[in-house]
Structure 1
Amino acid sequence: MDDAVDRDGGEADERAVDDFAGWVFDRFLGGMETLSIHIGSALGLYAALRDAPATASELAARAGIDRRYAREWLEQQATAGILAADSRSDEVTFHLPPAQAEVLTDRTSLGYAAPLARMFATVALRLPDLMDAYRAGGGVPWAAFGAGMRDSQGDINRPWFERMLAEALASVPQVHEVLSRSDAGIADVACGHGWSTIALARAYPDALIDGYDIDAPAIEAAREHAADLENVTFSELRGEQLADEGEDRYDAAFVFEALHDLPDPVAVLSSIRRAVRDDGVVVIMDEAVAETFSPPGDEVERVMYAYSLLICLPDSMSTPDSVATGTVMRRATLEGYARDAGFSGVSILPIDGFSAFRFFLLER
């Protein structure tokens, strides 16, 4: 695609135009097929195909949808390479291959990606609001995106927290030792659906973990998810208010993939610093973006800017006087926030391969 960009601002050649037009078409096709995945996931069509192949008539009966739409969706999915089709009988039979089944239906798999399609569809519904925000300033708050955004965010991160977080934290002695203290107090700020909080509670059963978020439906969902755990509580609370719960109350505090969303990250980090004991730890998990802006970027940079344009920056800017960080919070930006909040610096923890995230330790 780089060849299609005329860096000198002159007239582009015909091949460059064709290449870039093709690049745009590929994105259009991908977007349309992403919406088809959302239809299949939201209507339970993949789940209906997971255990047994089906004809259009059989899928319509299993999933409770119209037969004509069932046929068109099945044929489109097979054409896209998502489903396999067997046309040896009078009516074509479709089945969901194992890899696709895991990616589209297994909520415990690290490869589970169906929530991304729901997130994409949710953003598309808010485009008029986003356009208004771009013209006039302001933003689109997280709550305006509704359950589609809240649930897809929780679902896409859930397997990483459930399967990988305990191992990741245990691999860092400085952090693991603090979390292993008897009756250690741990705060999970901006916890969302609570999967990170729950993972901490299961990994450190002797600890007492408090999950906080300002989104009431997320807190309600988190409480349901943690119904079998006795060492977890969830409360509605802004990160800026954490120290109001008691200074030096906690041995550790975490902010998982949320600091860049907060309108006043310095105030939040300052409150966390006061709430955590001097011999405790403060860990921020955020996006593993590059150190500097150096276009063109890799896929991580590209997806993080896409999140920022459509979700995170508008959410942050919906609060007056927001610092408007955006999803692409580079290390220098985090270091500036940390120092302004009273920390001495920031170091990167040796945790690799945790999706597209990076773990930072805030130093006293």
Structure 2
Amino acid sequence: MSPHAHAPADEWADHVVGSAMAAMETLAIHLGDRLGWYRALAESGPHTPASLATATGTNERYAREWLEHQAAAGMVTATDDAGIRRFALPPGAAEALTDGSSLAYAAPIARMVAAAATQMPALLEAYRDGGGVSWADLGDDARWAQAEVNRPWFDTMLAPALAAVPELDAILSRPGARIADIACGAGWSALALARAYPEARVTGVDVDEPSIAQARSNAAAAGLADRVEFLHEDAGSLEGPYDAAFVLEALHDMPQPVEVLEAIRGAVREDGAVVVMDEAVAEQPAGPGDDVERLMYGYSILVCLPDSMSATPSAATGTVMRPAVLRGYAADAGFADVTVLPIEDFAFFRFYRLHHPR
């Protein structure tokens, strides 16, 4: 929690030091994730520094320093037995840091922060001259972190969330329904839609070629390549009519959101459904904000706004796309209304349905 605005300087200094420690711990989480240290601790721990290094093909001296840091930060437990120090990962931490199927899986967040940190010189330049830093610039750490952190929610929660909205579920359940997933990334959302609605055909589109390649591989591995296709295109390539289209945590990144929504409106039947899932930020800004606001503004200054501004022209939306902003984009794209769907407790997200004119 930030100090009060009128707090003395030493309280603000303590706040800065605490923030710096949190940043260092985040990057240490990234090290443990990418080097396989957390996974080794979860699967074969407790470990000494030597055994952890051997199990993961890493350097013992670095492993020892990282383990001691993790113990100091409360991430691992340490025990001494006859002068031999062993380190263990508690079960809850193991789930959050290594179980990619768990809704608690959070390690990819550290990977995203690391991706942004490596681009700090480019971010500084962009902040000075108004340019940007694209997802392509951020690279695989950002690309796959985004895919991995959302995957368990798509795999586990998307189907029941949509089934709980009868009118939407009926549209998606139409025999031979065509569903579009715009900015589909690695394809986990499209595959979840295909599993939930086995009579539907799903088309995922994305402008990021590595993501589309991975999505096609994921579809083949899931045995769904016959019903799910992935196109390296943008929304303007959609050839309707579609029964439904989804934009899942992506609209705020798009340089031209109105044009994308116009293309979607033209491709989806008037009796179909257009659904946008985006961050569940507050209706109005407030300072200090809650944890969702703090997290989303963090993503915005480091990732989403620079990505959006890497293209010209750009709406420069940023991660914190408040409901009124989305409603404005929808109106400009020719939609008649926007309603919030009764889907709650879906990570940090809110679901909107955009309605065609009647």
State the TM-score, normalized to the length of structure 2.
0.96
Question: What does 1:125-136 align with in structure 2 at a 5 Å threshold?
Answer: 125-136=118-129
Which of 264, 270, 273 is matched with 1:278 structurally? Answer: 270
Q: Map of 1:217-232 to 2, 5 A cutoff? A: 217-227=210-220, 228-229=223-224, 230-232=226-228
Partner of 1:240: 236
Answer yes or no: is the 8 Å Cα contact 1:188–1:211 preserved in 2: yes
Report deviation, 1:2: 5.7
Which residue in 1 is equivalent to 2:339?
Answer: 347
Structure 2 match to 1:85: 78
AA partner of residue 311 (structure 1): V
Residue pairs, 1:305-344, within 5 angstroms: 305-344=297-336
Match of 1:266 among 258, 261, 265: 258
What is aligned with 2:186? 193
Which of the numbers 199, 209, 221 marks the counterpart of 2:202? 209
CA distance in 1, matches of 2:82, 2:348: 45
The separation in 2 between residues aligned to 1:22 and 1:241, in whole angstroms, is 52
Identity %: 55
Aligned to 2:5: 5
Indicate if the aligned counterparts of 1:219 and 1:235 stay in contact, CA closer than 8 A.
Answer: yes
Query: How far apart are the structure 2 equivalents of 1:73 and 1:314?
Result: 32
**Change in 2 beyond 3 A, CA 1:2/1:36:** closer
CA separation in 1, counterparts of 2:208 and 2:172? 26
Partner of 2:284: 292
**1:117-132 alignment runs, 5 A limit:** 117-132=110-125
Q: Deviations over 1:87-122 (max 9, x none)?
A: 023211111111011011000001111111111111
Structure 1 stretches lacking a partner, 5+ long: 7-14
Change (3 A) 1:3 1:35: closer
Contact 1:4 1:17 in 2 (8 A): no
1:130/1:310 contact within 8 Å kept? yes
Q: 129, 133, 137: which one pairs with 1:140? A: 133
Q: For 1:226, what is the secondary structure of its paired residue?
A: helix
Task: Write the distance in 2 (CA, Å) between the matches of 1:16 and 1:173.
Answer: 55
SS of aligned partner of 1:58:
helix
Q: Partners in 2 of 1:188 and 1:2 — Cα distance?
A: 39
AA aligned opposite 1:212 = V
Count of matched residue positions in the alignment of Structure 1 and Structure 2: 352
Q: Which moved more, 1:341-350 or 1:72-81?
A: 72-81
4+ long deviations beyond 6 Å: none
Indicate the SS of the match to 1:358. Answer: strand
Distance 1:262 1:225 in 2: 24
Kindly provide the CA deviation profile for residues 30-54 of structure 1, in whole angstroms up to 9, marking residues without a partner as x: 1101111111110001111112211
RMSD: 1.1
| Distance of 1:306 and 1:80 partners within structure 2 | 22
* Shift in CA distance, 340/180, structure 1 to aligned 2, threshold 3 Å: same
- Candidates 152, 177, 192, aligned match of 2:170: 177
TM-score (norm 1): 0.95
